[in-house]
Chains A and B, each alone.
Chain A
Amino acid sequence: MISKFLFRGFERRINYVLAVLVIAAALVPLSNLVLDPSNPLHIPTFMVAVFGKYLTYAMLALALDLVWGYCGILSLGHGAFFALGGYAMGMYLMRQIGTRGVYGDPVLPDFMVFLNWKELPWFWTGFDHFWFAALMVFVVPGFLAFVFGWFAFRSRVTGVYLSIITQALTYALLLAFFRNEMGFGGNNGLTDFKDILGYNIQTDATRAALFAASALALALCLLVCSAIVNSKYGKVLISVRDAESRTRFIGYRVEHFKLFAFTVSAMMAGLAGALYVPQVGIINPGEFAPANSIEVVIWTAVGGRGTLVGPIIGAIAVNAGKSYFTAAFPEFWIFALGALFVAVTLFMPKGILGLFRQAMNKSRRHDTSTNPGLLKETTPHPEAAQ
């Protein structure tokens, strides 16, 4: 049944991206580990780590696209789910340090010894097992999204109001995680990791494996999202986006559809965070900053909202641009990012993919719009105008 469901996700454009991701998952580690550094096809380890990071960002943008592009929920708090997933993974990695910490305590992480704590807080129990941490990567963001969405969607908080309270949510979490008393390392967060699943986290092989895992996870998420939006459920989701009241009046429980999408999306964001943390080696409360979550929105918008493939392209493109600019013209990056926000909303509301499709249509002179995400939405519905 599941395979039948996923099978629906295969679609031409999605297939291309899936193929690219799977090939990258195989070839990039191979090139990094097997080829000699002098070989022109060799990919240096730092590039593997950087692109691994981009892939997790892409997964986050994809998660946001599921709710924003297909359901009209502009979440300004997706960074919170990402960070929560990251913290769950970080806690597992902290427990793996064991006696190799600065204070050499076999149970307590360094920051707890530093705070003079005597025993592990209850919510740290179980995080020494990978399976438990891996479960929590999905459960914690998913649960938060479920509870939050349950309240928000049931009372019909929509539009900018929803955006603002998601922002308040991530801001509240930011403040909370900054507190040392929370037991998550306060300001410094969790860092100084050593092992993952018994493998040294610093080695090239582990990094390559993490890259491959990120690429495959992204491919899987893409397939799941594609299957969701192409199912009957996905059609209702789109109708919620375009005319929420009308969908409700027809008889659909709009809030259930939204809640499902929101929860799935949060879990995906959590997974992205969990893959992000071992690759960058640190997770701290800064990940909860509202500005980060808004940046995710711009990745999605740049690539093309409501296309699934677009956000992946957008996240990688914007972050590659960021890496380049912050190294070459550090002063200039913020200007470029700000201008990007303005330009994308004003001139390319459908993102890179929209421009591409426009160009294709112009040359072919006919409209092949079969993808639901690119339904004609040139004239905003009167409801949306409020």
Chain B
Amino acid sequence: MFVIPSKSFICLLAILAGFVLGLASPSQADEAGLRSLIGQFSTGSGFSDTEKTIDDIAGYSDEAAVPLLRALADGTLMILRTDRTVVIAKEMASGFVLNDPLSLEKIGEGVAADLDKIKIKNSLRRKITDAIASMTLSAPRPKVRLKAANDILNRPDVALLEAVEIALSVEKDSAVSSALSAAKAAIILDSDRDEAEKLDAIKTLASKGGRDVATLLSRYQATTNSVTLQAAAQEAMVQINETLAMWQVGQNIWYGLSLGSVLLLAAIGLAITFGVMGIINMAHGEMVMLGAYTTYAVQEVIRNSAPGLFEYSLLIALPSAFLVSGAVGLAMERGIIRYLYGRPLETLLATWGVSLILQQTVRTLFGPSNKEVGNPQWMSGAFQVGEMLITYNRLWIMVFCLLVFALLLFILKRSSFGLQMRAVTQNRPMASSMGIRTPWVDAFTFALGSGVAGIAGVALSQIDNVSPNLGQSYIIDSFMVVVFGGVGNLWGAFVGAFTLGIANKFLEPYAGAVLAKILILVAIILFIQKRPRGLFALKGRSVEA
């Protein structure tokens, strides 16, 4: 940090140092040089000096100066009266917060009387925009260049044409290069070049595609006078919108799959308990909620005792949630449900009572407000596929959901426990006669279903609010999935969940989120009339089974 006793001398030195060492670009010297240039704002007076300084900074071509120039254009670059330091001042309720113009770190606070604004005018603003554009266009990181090119595409400025052309001629990165040519085309459309060149520009834009280009072209079509250009823009827009519509379908499918995987996770445990034992477990949603709260508790413990493990918190939470929910489920089965076998409606009421108790218990222990469950690094962020945005947490949840499904399928079809479960489902008295301990199978099936609900809670804690009411918001949807898919068959739940998810997301753009949900509910109610046992009904000989 500079203390500035004899400014001019040090400035001179610094400029020299900057010029000599700048080419070898050791960042220390770079920064020093830049700082001395910034210092000129405080020594100079009048617009011409400011303009010269801007030019100097632009010549320096260091992207670190971009925020500073933006601040200058916005009028937040100020000079501290006491020691003539240049700062970026942000106005707050209590006064100004002063930040260093390069590092952007907070260096103090001040009031309006301490600060002199560096005055600028419109022609200077133009100059600043150009300087920022040329600096970012030649920035070393491709990401910065790409953003700069896209910024120009969205706000084309004829003055930047030359800069864009120069940048395009030296650009090596193909993505940046394509963005730059689109930016160039956008500028050409605004410029006074001839029609042939503009037609070419429209073609370039059409091949680039995307939402931004579509708005740009529609704006252009409305303002241009030339009929040929209008037609060309129209054609390009139709082409772009077709592609966009396709991507939109893709995006909807993705959203639908994502919603479907959430539904499947929430419903799969229910499919097991309902399928094998015919028990409607109204407390199923609370098992999911318990799983989410277990995640919260695990993260709290990790935060307090071993912060390094935070990235693995979900992996630790998974078995914990399975055990917690599974144990509660086991206790429920042994304590209540087993006395109610053969009375499904009474079971429904008793489990509803349990769900109330569990909710209130959690509310008493953790408080009624939402708890924040952190996303580990690998679950946050998003990436782009064409025009589709895919977030990592949704992606991981889908992967996780499929894993859980596969694992359960394996347990049901390949393990001896699964064999016993299926035997009990298909013919309880016969299974019992063959020596299967049906009460034991019942208890552990219920525990398994509850445990799976618990691990669903771990996943859902990443995308939903963790509150005592978490389970309530999933319970009806889960029932719909199971009833729609048909009981006693995991594939029924699978198909049901993804069908409902995708149908919901395709209806949403036309009907709105709430109406889409209502339509789905009505559709299921009607569907049940047609197939009272769901899509994949178990075949049986009993009259009412």
B356 within 8 A of A: yes
B220 within 8 A of A: no
Is the beta-carbon distance between A172 and B339 smaller than 8 angstroms? no
Closest to B483 in A: A164
What is the bound-complex CA distance between A152 and B483, given in angstroms? 14
Known interface pairs A151-B526, A245-B543, A338-B357; 8 further A-B residue pairs with C-beta atoms within 8 A, sorted by A's residue number: A155-B528, A160-B280, A172-B518, A179-B514, A334-B359, A335-B361, A339-B353, A384-B342
Which of A261-269, A290-298, A361-369 forms contacts with chain B? A290-298
B307 cross-chain contacts in A, Cβ below 8 A: none
A132 within 8 A of B: no
- Digitize B506-530: 1 where CB-to-A-CB distance is under 8 Å, 0 elsewhere: 0000000011011001101110111
B354 within 8 A of A: yes
Is the beta-carbon distance between A341 and B356 smaller than 8 angstroms? yes
B110 within 8 A of A: no
Classify the secondary structure of B's interface with A. helix
Contact partner, B542, options A160, A342, A349, A386, Cβ 8 Å: A386
Which of B71-79, B131-139, B344-352 forms contacts with chain A? B344-352
What is the bound-complex CA distance between A385 and B340, given in angstroms? 10
CB proximity to B under 8 Å, residues A241-279:
244-245
A198 within 8 A of B: no
What is the bound-complex CA distance between A341 and B354, given in angstroms? 8
A127 within 8 A of B: no
Q: How far is the CB of A339 from chain B (nearest CB, A)?
A: 7
A161 within 8 A of B: yes
A-B contact pairs, 18 of them (CB 8 A): A155-B528, A158-B544, A159-B344, A168-B480, A168-B524, A169-B525, A179-B515, A301-B349, A334-B357, A335-B356, A341-B352, A341-B356, A342-B357, A345-B340, A345-B343, A345-B349, A345-B353, A386-B542
B483 cross-chain contacts in A, Cβ below 8 A: 161, 164-165
A341 cross-chain contacts in B, Cβ below 8 A: 349-350, 352-354, 356
- Digitize B155-188: 1 where CB-to-A-CB distance is under 8 Å, 0 elsewhere: 0000000000000000000000000000000000
- Digitize A317-339: 1 where CB-to-B-CB distance is under 8 Å, 0 elsewhere: 00000000000000100110111
A30 within 8 A of B: no
Is the beta-carbon distance between A386 and B545 smaller than 8 angstroms? yes
What is the bound-complex CA distance between A105 and B138, given in angstroms? 65
Is the beta-carbon distance between A74 and B528 smaller than 8 angstroms? no
What is the bound-complex CA distance between A203 and B532, given in angstroms? 51
A176 within 8 A of B: yes
Is the beta-carbon distance between A74 and B345 smaller than 8 angstroms? yes
A334 cross-chain contacts in B, Cβ below 8 A: 356-357, 359-360, 363
Q: Are A167 and B352 CB-contacts (below 8 A) given A157-B529, A244-B544?
A: no
List 6 tightest A-B contacts by C-beta distance, closest first. Answer: A341-B353, A338-B356, A338-B357, A385-B342, A334-B360, A172-B521
Is the beta-carbon distance between A245 and B529 smaller than 8 angstroms? no
Q: How far is the CB of B366 from chain A (nearest CB, A)?
A: 14
| B contact residues, total (Cβ < 8 Å) | 50
What is the bound-complex CA distance between A69 and B515, given in angstroms? 35
Q: How far is the CB of B344 from chain A (nearest CB, A)?
A: 5
B342 cross-chain contacts in A, Cβ below 8 A: 380, 384-385
B278 within 8 A of A: yes
A176 cross-chain contacts in B, Cβ below 8 A: 514-515, 518
A151 cross-chain contacts in B, Cβ below 8 A: 525-526, 529
Classify the secondary structure of A's interface with B. helix
From A155, A345, A385, residue with most partner B Cβ within 10 Å: A345
A159 cross-chain contacts in B, Cβ below 8 A: 344-345
Q: Are A342 and B514 CB-contacts (below 8 A) given A163-B280, A244-B544?
A: no
Is the beta-carbon distance between A383 and B359 smaller than 8 angstroms? no
B10 cross-chain contacts in A, Cβ below 8 A: none
B293 cross-chain contacts in A, Cβ below 8 A: none
B545 cross-chain contacts in A, Cβ below 8 A: 386
Is the beta-carbon distance between B353 and A338 smaller than 8 angstroms? yes
From B517, B522, B543, residue with most partner A Cβ within 10 Å: B543
A171 within 8 A of B: yes
A33 within 8 A of B: no
Is the beta-carbon distance between B344 and A346 smaller than 8 angstroms? no
Q: Are A171 and B476 CB-contacts (below 8 A) given A165-B483, A346-B339?
A: yes
- Digitize A52-74: 1 where CB-to-B-CB distance is under 8 Å, 0 elsewhere: 00000000000000000000001
A175 within 8 A of B: yes
From A154, A164, A176, A294, residue with most partner B Cβ within 10 Å: A164
B340 cross-chain contacts in A, Cβ below 8 A: 345-346
B411 cross-chain contacts in A, Cβ below 8 A: none
What is the bound-complex CA distance between A31 and B352, given in angstroms? 41
B364 within 8 A of A: yes
Is the beta-carbon distance between A168 and B476 smaller than 8 angstroms? yes
Contact partner, A160, options B348, B364, B517, Cβ 8 Å: B348
Q: How far is the CB of A185 from chain B (nearest CB, A)?
A: 16
B13 within 8 A of A: no
What is the bound-complex CA distance between A337 and B348, given in angstroms? 15
Q: Are A338 and B280 CB-contacts (below 8 A) given A155-B532, A157-B532, A349-B346?
A: no
Contact partner, B532, options A161, A291, A345, Cβ 8 Å: A161
Q: How far is the CB of A69 from chain B (nearest CB, A)?
A: 12
Closest to B345 in A: A74
Contact partner, A297, options B349, B360, B544, Cβ 8 Å: B349
B336 within 8 A of A: yes
What is the bound-complex CA distance between A377 and B355, given in angstroms? 28
Q: How far is the CB of B347 from chain A (nearest CB, A)?
A: 8
Contact partner, B280, options A164, A340, A346, A349, Cβ 8 Å: A164
What is the bound-complex CA distance between A298 and B515, given in angstroms? 31
What is the bound-complex CA distance between A280 and B521, given in angstroms? 31
Q: How far is the CB of A142 from chain B (nearest CB, A)?
A: 18
A297 cross-chain contacts in B, Cβ below 8 A: 349
B405 within 8 A of A: no
CB proximity to A under 8 Å, residues B475-534:
476, 479-480, 483, 514-515, 517-518, 521-522, 524-526, 528-530, 532-533
Closest to B274 in A: A160
Is the beta-carbon distance between B476 and A290 smaller than 8 angstroms? yes
A152 cross-chain contacts in B, Cβ below 8 A: 528-529
Closest to B336 in A: A342
B529 cross-chain contacts in A, Cβ below 8 A: 151-152, 154-155, 157
